[in-house]
Amino acid sequence: MENRREGILNSILLNYASCLILFVENSSFCSLAGQRRELPRFSWCSRYLRAWSKLAVFSCTVKMMKKNKLIDEIWHHIRAGVSVIVDLCDSRQAIFRFSSLGGRLWFLTRSCFELSQKKTVKNKQVEELIDVWKMNSTVRQRQVRASNGSNDSSSMNAEKKSISEKRGSKESQQKRRQTKKVVSKVDRYSIILSCTFFVVLYAVGLVFPDWARKFVTLQYKYPGTIDAYDIGFDDAYVVVTCIVVLVLVRSFLLEFVLKPIALNRFNVRSHKSQQRYAEQGWSLVYYTFSWVYGFYLYYNSPYFLNCDHIYLEWPHDYLSGTFKLYYLLQMASWMQQILVLNAEEKRKDYWQMFAHHIITCLLSMGSYYYYFTRIGHLILIIMDVVDILLSSAKMLKYCGFSTACDYMFAVFLVFWVLLRHIAYNYIFYHAGTKAPGLMANGQCGISETQKRCWTPFIIDVFLWLLGGLQVITIIWMFLIVKVLIKIIRGGSAEDVRSDEDDTD
C-alpha cells in the first residue's frame, strides 16, 4: 500500500512538471506583458516529461484504478485540469475556464490529502483491533491460570512489566513512524502547493497581467534611471514569490537530492539522520549562496570596511536592482524559516529559534522601511558565515566523520566569537553612539523634504531588537561551551539542538 501511494504522489508531481513545461513551451511568462514567443529548446524536455508522466500514470492506473475510487477521482481531476490548462494556453478569453482550473486544482489537492489520511486512519483501526485482541488473549491466559490455581505473584509482575515494556517500545516506534510520515508528507505537499501557486499565477496573468506582473518584477523604479529603485508596499508581492520559490527548492532538494545522497553516498540508514543531513545540506546551500551574493554587494559598496558610511547621506532611498532583490530575498528567507520551524519536529531550543526568527524579521522589515538597509546588509553577512560553518560541522557529524566534525567545530567556534560577539557588538556600539550624529540631517523636524525621518525612540527600538539578538546568541554560546567541554574531555561534538528522542 505504501508503494502504491508513493507511485500516485510521484505521478501527480510528474503531471505538474509536465504542465509547467507545457506552459514554457507554448507561451512564456513574457505573455504577461502581452508578448508571445516560441521556445523550441524546451520541446525535447516537454516530450520527455510528458512521456515519463504518462508511463508512471499508466503503471499506477493498471493496478489501482479499479480498486480505489479516490484514486480514480484524483486521476479524473488531473486529466481534466490538464485539458483546461491547454485550453487556457490556446484561448485567453475564457474566464470560466480559469475558474474551472482553480476548482480542479483545489479538488486535486484535497483528494491527495484524503488519500494520505485514508491509510493512516485504516492503520490506526487495525492496530486498535490488534491491541484489543492481545489484551483479550492476556485476560484469557490469566483466567486459565487462576482456574488452575496458579497465583504466583512474581510471574504476574514479570508479565505486567514485559507487557508495559512492549507497549512503550511500540508507542515509541509508532511515534517515529508518524514523524517520518509527517515530515515526508510536508515536503511532498510543499512541492505540489508551490507548483500550484505558479500554475494559478500564470493563469491569472492571462486575465490580469498588470497585477500578476507584480509577483515577478521589482516595483518602484525611478523614471529615467537604468538601475535605481525605491521601496513600497507592492514589494510584498515579490516577497511572496520568493517564499514560494524557497519552499519549492528546499523541498525538492531535501526529498530528491540530499536524502538520496545521505543514503547512497554516506550510508546514513536512520531516517532522522537523513532528515537532519538534508536540512543542514539545504542550509549550507542557501547560506553559501546568500553570503557570496551579499559579500559581492558589500565589496562593491561605499561602506566597505567603513562603518561611518553606513549612516552618512541617510536616507539611502536609491537601491540598485541587485541589492533590492537581495534584501527582499533575505526577508522571504526568514519568513520561510518560521514556517519550516513550525512544520518540522520541535527541538530543545525551539523558543530561542522562534524568538530569533521573529526579531530578525522585525529588524529586516523595519530596516527596509526606514532605509537602514546598509547596517542590515552588514549584519546579515556576518551571520551567514557562521551558519555555513555550523551546517558543515553538522553534516560531517551525521555522516559519521567525528574527527572532521570536531575540527570543523573548532573553526566554527572561532568565527562565532569573532563575528557574532566581537564584530556584532562593535556594530551595535557604533550604531548606538555614532549613528545619531552621522544622521543628524535626517532627524524629524529638521528637514521636511526627507522621505523618512528618525527620532530617538525609533533608534532605541532598533537597538533593543539588536540587543535581543545578542542575548539569544549568548544563550547559544553557553550551549556551545558545553559541547567544547565535552570534546576536551574526550567526547565528540553533538548537535545541541537535537530533539529529546534522537534515535530511530
pLDDT surpassing 90 at residue 335: yes
Grid cell of 273 as nine digits:
539522520
Best-predicted range by mean pLDDT (96-110, 139-153, 399-413, 443-457): 399-413
Residue 131: phi, psi to the nearest 5?
A: -65, -40
Residues 51-67 have a mean pLDDT of: 49
- Can you give the pLDDT at residue 268? 86
Q: How far is CA 115 from CA 5, 41, 119, 332, in A?
A: 8, 37, 7, 31
- DSSP for 406-456, please give it: HHHHHHHHHHIIIIIIIIHHHHHHHHHHTHHHHTGGGBTTT-TT-S--B-H
If you count them, how many residues does the chain have? 504
Q: Average per-residue pLDDT in the chain? A: 75
Query: pLDDT class for 33, splitting at 50, 70, 90?
Result: very low
Best-predicted range by mean pLDDT (30-44, 127-141, 371-385, 476-490): 371-385
* pLDDT tens for each residue of 435-447: 999 988 887 765 5
* pLDDT tens for each residue of 150-175: 445 555 555 555 555 555 555 555 55
The conformation of residue 67, written as its DSSP 8-state character, comes to T
pLDDT surpassing 60 at residue 458: yes
- Can you give the pLDDT at residue 3? 52
Distance CA 380, CA 367 (A): 12
3-state secondary structure of 68: coil
Half-sphere exposure of 24 (CA within 13 A, CB side): 16
Proportion of the chain above pLDDT 70, given as a percent? 59
pLDDT surpassing 90 at residue 215: yes
Look-up: residue for cell 475558474?
Answer: 99
Grid cell of 113 as nine digits:
490529502
Return the beta strands (E) in 262-410 as ranges. none
pLDDT surpassing 80 at residue 177: no
pLDDT surpassing 70 at residue 179: no
Distance CA 86, CA 307 (A): 55
Largest CA distance in the chain: 100
Judged by average pLDDT, the poorest of 178-182, 215-219, 246-250 is 178-182
- Can you give the pLDDT at residue 66? 44
pLDDT surpassing 80 at residue 309: yes
Query: pLDDT class for 39, splitting at 50, 70, 90?
Result: very low
pLDDT surpassing 50 at residue 16: yes
Cα pseudo-dihedral 230, 232, 238, 243, rounded to 10: 120
Residues 309-320 have a mean pLDDT of: 92
Residue 345 or 277, more confident: 277
* pLDDT tens for each residue of 256-281: 999 999 989 988 888 888 888 999 99
Query: pLDDT class for 295, splitting at 50, 70, 90?
Result: very high
- Can you give the pLDDT at residue 502? 47
Strand (E) or helix (H) holding 279: helix 271-299
- Can you give the pLDDT at residue 500? 45
